[in-house]
Amino acid sequence: MPLVSTNRIKINIYKTSTLKKIFICICVVTSALSLTAQQAAQKLDELIAAFTKNGQFNGSVLVAQKGTILLQKGYGYKNSDKKETNDGNTIFQIGSITKQFTSALILHLQEKKKLSIHDKLSKYFPALPFADSVTIENLMSHTSGIYNYTNDENFMKNDAVKPTSQQKIFALFKDKPLAFEPGSKFSYSNSNYMLLGYIIEKITGKPYEKQMHEIIFTPLQMNHSGFNFTSLKSPDKATGYFSLTATSNTPSTIVDSSVSFAAGAVYTTVGDLYKWDRSLYTEKIISKASLKDAYTPRKEKYGFGWVIDSVYDKPVYKHGGGIFGFTTNIFREPEEDICIILLDNKGDGSLEKITAGLNAILHNKPYELPEEQKEITVDSLILKQYTGSYELSPKFILTVTFENGKMMIEATGQGKAEMFAEKENYFFLKVADIQVEFTKDADGKTDKLILHQNGQASPAKKVDPNSVSAEKTKQRTAIAVDSSILKQYIGEYELAPNFILSMTLENGKLMTQATGQPKFEMFAEKENFFFLKVVDAQVEFTKDANGKTDKLILHQNGRDMPAKKIK
């Protein structure tokens, strides 16, 4: 798993597992003047259309301000094979946006005196080893320290699409030690919200989904919302895709609703989610006091199912979602009565960047329009010069082939992806925001490629695929370092905007976690120099003049990437 990138697509060109795409296309800066509703709608549509054309959005959008829907529209395909397009009524899985509905149910039950968020877990599930240490509030705010069951790769790979039970879910985390003292830190864990769903069932004596319909969906007339996406027969149902281009697609599997449950099983439409937004200006579902509680951050800007932030000096409340084949985002700015909802069935949309652009338009602020990447025709004789193997790092090779007139690239352990020429020596991928540049030596022979991704340019030398690399992976020996020293490295380090490396000390082990990725243990080679065993990466910590840790340097793929300590 690379530390420098993550993404939800299945075909990736980088280090193992998934990649996070940071949008790096050439952008046109646009300034919006005072806009009428019609002008705003045109600009909003223009922005979404540009991202759609670039293959960075495929789904449905709703943007509203002061009670007026400015844009409610679908883009791209609901079903690529049938050429059915998305529209404002398309039904999507929304993943973790489900959590704010689960939190609302808990707060509703608290208002009815059925529970208290200060109740200990032991009141409901006393057999769990950590039950007397964790409260409902810890579960709602991700401050419990309970292991995240979706980090179990074997379970997610083999069992996520199958019906499961409470006992099987408990077995995935009940014997894992807590990562920290409950309430002291933040660690996002879907296990928290599974437990909340089970608590709701235990208190009410009714299935979680029935409670959701009775308390929220039915009163708000969210008639297109539900849980069992696998069995949904609606013609408005979207197909989720691991990858989707103009010429090919890879449909995703569907996570069973018993697996995602109260942490991520809801399906809905942009229109139904807007009904939810409108209800939060009333006390129809929960009181203003309960909503204020949900909007109060505990740790790391997280409340109860909401991330609390500020944009243009105004408080905003948001949450994203990701589940096989789908990515989603909801954004609320109550002071300006703004609601932005993005539901994507391609599974790898640039939703945060799109949301920021849409919000900028509503605030008459500068925003960025992505420039279209245009494919050109390059003579096959030139293309064949680029075929071969390129070493991005020891034991990690990018193989470039020319097949049936197409340029293909394949990373070690991953599938092939087509490349498209933008220039004679410069190519882009449509399945991910990645560009590949080929260079030549003094004799005019191709000597390396440069992989452009996440704002980084990573060189890969052309090598003989039949030879053993001259650069062997260095054998590293771990040493013991006193915990008092390790604690100095705990914190958050910003490698790039919106991409953080978090360092924690758990059970005597120094752990690192990149945005959107699982945690990995680091091993000390020196007092301030650590290495990972899951990937060829090293982390070095540095101190300022006062002896305090001020940054880290990530050493990976021949690059030294500094990350300033921000927390």
With H, G, I as helix, E, B as strand and everything else as coil, classify residue 179. coil
C-alpha to C-alpha distance for 232 and 266, rounded to whole angstroms: 12
> What is the secondary structure of 302-353 as a DSSP string?
B-SS-EEEEETTEEEEEEEEEETTEEEEEEEEGGGTEEEEEEESSS---HHH
Are 406 and 366 contained in the same domain? no
pLDDT of residue 26: 26
Residue 408 pairs in a beta bridge with 401, 418
C-alpha to C-alpha distance for 7 and 18, rounded to whole angstroms: 5
Are 409 and 515 contained in the same domain? no
Find all residues with CB under 8 Å of 274, minimum gap 6, and list them.
Answer: 62, 64, 69, 339, 341
Q: Are 2 and 19 in contact (CB under 8 A)?
A: yes
Q: Are 18 and 7 in contact (CB under 8 A)?
A: yes
526-564 burial, b for 16+ CB within 10 Å, e for fewer? eebbbbbeebbbbbbbeeeeeeebebbbbbbbeeebebe
Per-residue pLDDT of the chain (567 residues; tens, 9 = 90+): 333 333 332 223 223 333 333 222 323 333 333 468 889 999 999 999 999 988 889 999 999 999 999 999 999 999 999 999 999 999 999 999 999 999 999 999 999 999 999 999 999 999 999 999 999 999 999 999 999 999 888 899 889 999 999 999 999 999 999 999 999 999 999 999 999 999 999 999 999 999 999 999 999 999 999 999 999 999 999 999 988 877 788 899 999 999 999 999 999 999 999 999 999 999 999 999 999 999 999 999 999 999 999 999 999 999 999 999 999 999 999 999 999 999 999 876 678 889 999 999 999 999 988 877 788 999 999 999 999 999 987 767 899 999 999 999 988 756 688 899 999 999 988 776 689 999 999 999 999 999 987 567 889 999 986 653 433 445 688 999 999 999 999 999 988 776 789 999 998 899 998 876 778 899 999 999 999 887 778 999 999 998 899 999 998 766 778 899 998
Q: Is the residue at 83 inside a domain?
A: no
Q: Is the residue at 20 inside a domain?
A: yes
pLDDT of residue 91: 98
| CA distances from residue 117 to 17, 114, 136, 448 in whole angstroms, order as listed | 37, 10, 5, 58
Structure tokens at 537: 């990466």
Q: Is the residue at 79 inside a domain?
A: no
CATH of the domain at 113: 3.40.710.10
Are 549 and 436 contained in the same domain? no
Q: Is the residue at 362 inside a domain?
A: yes
Q: Is the residue at 56 inside a domain?
A: no
Task: Give me the numbers of helices (H) and strands (E) for the chain, helices first please.
Answer: 13, 30
Q: Is the residue at 52 inside a domain?
A: no
CATH of the domain at 452: 2.40.128.50
Are 328 and 285 contained in the same domain? yes
Are 314 and 438 contained in the same domain? no
pLDDT of residue 413: 59
Q: Convert the pLDDT of each residue in 252-296 to its tens digit.
A: 999 999 999 999 999 999 999 999 999 999 999 999 999 999 999
What is the amino acid identity at position 340? I
Q: Are 186 and 180 in contact (CB under 8 A)?
A: no
pLDDT of residue 417: 83
Would the pTM count as exceeding 0.75?
A: no
Structure tokens at 244: 């989707």
Are 213 and 281 contained in the same domain? yes
> What is the secondary structure of 417-448 as a DSSP string?
EEEEEEETTEEEESSSS-EEEEEE-TTS-EEE
| CA distances from residue 159 to 149, 260, 348, 516, 519 in whole angstroms, order as listed | 12, 12, 22, 21, 21
Backbone angles phi, psi at 418, to 5 degrees: -80, 145
Final residue belonging to a domain, choices 370, 403, 427: 370
Structural domain count of the chain: 3
Cα torsion through 228, 229, 233, 234, rounded to 10: 110
Q: Is the residue at 50 inside a domain?
A: no
**Full residue range of the structural domain in which residue 505 is found:** 483-565
80-88 contact pairs (CB < 8 A, 24+): 80/239, 80/241, 80/244, 80/249, 81/249, 86/58, 86/59, 86/60, 86/238, 86/345, 87/60, 88/60, 88/62, 88/269, 88/270, 88/271
Are 458 and 558 contained in the same domain? no
Are 389 and 517 contained in the same domain? no
Final residue belonging to a domain, choices 452, 473, 494: 473
Are 321 and 181 contained in the same domain? yes
pLDDT of residue 397: 87
With H, G, I as helix, E, B as strand and everything else as coil, classify residue 42. helix
| CA distances from residue 463 to 383, 393, 466 in whole angstroms, order as listed | 17, 11, 9
Final residue belonging to a domain, choices 454, 473, 492: 473
Find all residues with CB under 8 Å of 489, minimum gap 6, and list them.
Answer: 503, 510, 541, 549, 552
With H, G, I as helix, E, B as strand and everything else as coil, classify residue 109. helix
Are 365 and 381 contained in the same domain? no
Neighbours of 484 (CB within 10 A): 7
C-alpha to C-alpha distance for 50 and 372, rounded to whole angstroms: 7
Are 457 and 512 contained in the same domain? no
Are 561 and 451 contained in the same domain? no
Backbone angles phi, psi at 225, to 5 degrees: -115, 150
Of the candidates 145, 216, 236, 237, the residue with the CA atom closest to the CA atom of residue 182: 145
**β-pairing, 537-543 with 529-532?**
antiparallel
Neighbours of 354 (CB within 10 A): 24
Burial class, 87, CB count within 10 angstroms (exposed 0-12 / middle 13-18 / buried 19+):
middle
Q: Is the residue at 191 inside a domain?
A: yes
pLDDT of residue 35: 63
Q: What percent of the chain has pLDDT over 90?
A: 71
Backbone angles phi, psi at 421, to 5 degrees: -75, 125
Burial class, 480, CB count within 10 angstroms (exposed 0-12 / middle 13-18 / buried 19+):
exposed
Phi/psi-derived region of residue 17, left when phi > 0, alpha when psi is between -120 and 50, beta in every other case: left
> What is the secondary structure of 125-148 as a DSSP string?
-TTSTTTTT-BHHHHHTT-S----
pLDDT of residue 434: 82
C-alpha to C-alpha distance for 411 and 403, rounded to whole angstroms: 16
Q: Convert the pLDDT of each residue in 20-51 to its tens digit.
A: 332 223 233 333 334 688 899 999 999 999 99
